[in-house]
Amino acid sequence: MGTVVRMELVEGFVVGTAYEPVVSRPIFDGLALTQAGVAKLLHNDLEPGDIHEALVLIDEFERLGRQLDAAKLRLHESVDRTGVYAVDGHRGAKPMIANAGKLSGPEAAARQKTMKVLQALPLVAAAFRAGDIATCMVNKLGRVY
């Protein structure tokens, strides 16, 4: 494929494992920085010193998780829209993402439904990308939609 660029930032955690020549540089950098941030969080003590720190950490972790979920759904939408799944013989984005992402069928179906509702409701999509709406709430909207 290409050269794998690896950068070990935290002992025991390797980051920057994407294939740089395959993935665009801005996306590669974003993945490497995210991996490095998660490695730092996992390597350090997450025991809050007081209630205020606990509240801040809970809010920030939840916001980050939602933003990562929103990024995964943007990728799903892009795979669906561009039809890139067909090159590998898949019949749609859902089976390709289920296969490549090692997801269960129900998880891939839930993502497909959530992706569709985010396409239909741009204000909800923007709030989700900002981390203001919980993933479970957006998934429920997808099931209802």
Q: pLDDT of 10-52, one tens digit each?
A: 556 666 666 656 788 888 888 888 888 888 898 888 899 999 9
List, in order, residues 6 or more apart from 99 with CB less than 8 Å away: 90
Q: What is the pLDDT of residue 2?
A: 46
Instruction: Give pLDDT tens digits for 8-17.
Output: 555 566 666 6
Q: What b/e readout covers 6-28, taking b as 16+ CB neighbours within 10 angstroms?
A: eeebbeeeebbebebeeeeeeeb
DSSP 45: -
Quick: pLDDT tens for 66-124.
999 999 999 999 999 999 999 989 999 999 999 999 999 999 999 999 999 999 999 99
Fill in the DSSP letter of residue 29: H
pLDDT grade, residue 139 (50/70/90)? very high
Q: What is the pLDDT of residue 114?
A: 95
Please report which residue ranges of the chain form alpha helices under DSSP H: 25-43, 51-82, 93-100, 105-120, 122-129, 135-144
